[in-house]
Structure 1
Amino acid sequence: MTATQPATQPRRRAVTTFRDRPVTLVGPEIRVGDRAPDFTVVATDMSTVTFSSLGGAVRVISAVPSLDTPVCDAQTRRFNQVVAEHGEIPVLTVSVDLPTAQARWCGAAGLDHVRTLSDHRDLSFGLAYGVLIEELRLLARAVFVVDADDTVVHAEYVPTIEAQPDYDRVVRAAWNAG
């Protein structure tokens, strides 16, 4: 699915807000028990990465609007800290930031336990996981935990873009799935 094809996708309103205003999320709602949809994103080295190529392990997918904002920065740093404290569970942070901007941010932040991936090219992740904000062409704040069999064991669409996810629930889901 490309950015030119979102018209065929379902739309959900009032799932989340941005600056106290409801926004429209494009794509299906992913629920616990669903098979994790595949998607294609771009790594900081400009290589193409598919979710299916990262299988065989529990993974945390952290969707953020932009790493260059305080809440997204804090969320990504927190997941980096959690992984450092609890062991190596891959954390994928996905945004529509350009891969070069993500690389610059990671270098400046000094993070080494979180992998940033860009959905800027065709919004594959945003559309597959129902986190594309139609009005802004950004991703909504959400967190998904996927087990080694590619089953979603935790799905959280954060009710307001300015809020943090429930880190304790994410950690419990990830480590219980492992």
Structure 2
Amino acid sequence: MATVTFKGNQVTTFGSLPKIGDDAPNFRLIATDLSSKSLNDYLGHNVVLNIFPSVDTGVCAQSVRTFNEQAAQLDNTKVLCISKDLPFAFARFCAAEGLDNVESLSDFRDGNFGKSYGLTFVDGPLEGLHSRCVVVLNDKAEVVYTEQVAEITDEPDYEAALKSIS
């Protein structure tokens, strides 16, 4: 279990993020067109997993905007924005914001992504949602960077995450 804070109050997660050098756990997430996506769909690309509680909060929305802007400059890299939001909320948000350099994926069906990556909250007011994390994978789906943001209301370290892509 990992411990982070939400507005200064301690909350815990289901487990711990994968370790650098590990093979990333596979996943099945739902795209905005309701198709299923797995890690295998992204093999051969660097992948930034931008994970957060809900796109309907200011900090989460900003992380999607920031990665969208910076992803346009990255070669052979996919940015996946992941939460338990319904695919319809993601589609609405990205369309309204004109975001097209990120993919939005939902863990709403079974929550297995959050469990296998060890980042689902097990207590606190956001229990059942995802912790704010960034996990970067190389083109072989090996973990090259992780960050579990210590205070949920803070943004991730975009620069460090993107520098980890070689």
TM range (shorter): over 0.9
Instruction: State the match for 2:106 in structure 1.
Output: 118
Q: How many residues align?
A: 163
RMSD after superposition:
1.2
Could you tell me which runs of 5 or more consecutive residues in structure 1 were left unpaired when the two chains were aligned: 1-11
Post-superposition CA distance 1:41-61 (Å, at most 9, x none): 111011111112221111100
Instruction: State the match for 1:171 in structure 2.
Output: 162
Amino acid at match of 2:48: V
From 134, 137, 150, the equivalent of 1:143 is 134
Please say if residues 58 and 147 of structure 1, whose CA atoms lie closer than 8 Å, have aligned partners that are also in contact: yes
State the 1:18 CA deviation.
1.2
TM-score by length of 2: 0.93
Instruction: State the match for 2:72 in structure 1.
Output: 84
| Structure with the largest fraction of helix | 1
Q: After TM superposition, list the pairs within 5 Å mapping 1:25-104 onto structure 2.
A: 25-104=13-92
TM-score by length of 1: 0.87
Please say if residues 141 and 158 of structure 1, whose CA atoms lie closer than 8 Å, have aligned partners that are also in contact: yes
Matched, 1:154 2:130: no
Matched, 1:106 2:94: yes
Post-superposition CA distance 1:90-149 (Å, at most 9, x none): 000000000111111111111000000000111121111111011221100000110111
Amino acid at match of 1:38: N
Please say if residues 6 and 152 of structure 2, whose CA atoms lie closer than 8 Å, have aligned partners that are also in contact: yes
Please say if residues 27 and 126 of structure 1, whose CA atoms lie closer than 8 Å, have aligned partners that are also in contact: no
Amino acid at match of 2:94: C
Post-superposition CA distance 1:72-103 (Å, at most 9, x none): 01111000010123445100000000011111
Structure-2 separation of matches of 1:29 and 1:155: 7
Structure-1 separation of matches of 2:74 and 2:42: 20
Amino acid at match of 1:156: E
Report percent identity of matched pairs. Answer: 38
Structure-1 separation of matches of 2:116 and 2:28: 10
- Shift in CA distance, 13/56, structure 1 to aligned 2, threshold 3 Å: closer
Please say if residues 45 and 76 of structure 2, whose CA atoms lie closer than 8 Å, have aligned partners that are also in contact: no
Please say if residues 2 and 16 of structure 2, whose CA atoms lie closer than 8 Å, have aligned partners that are also in contact: no
- Following superposition, which runs of at least 4 residues in structure 1 exceed 4 angstroms of deviation? none
Structure-2 separation of matches of 1:33 and 1:13: 19
Q: Counterpart of 1:133 in 2: which secondary structure?
A: coil
Structure-1 separation of matches of 2:159 and 2:29: 27
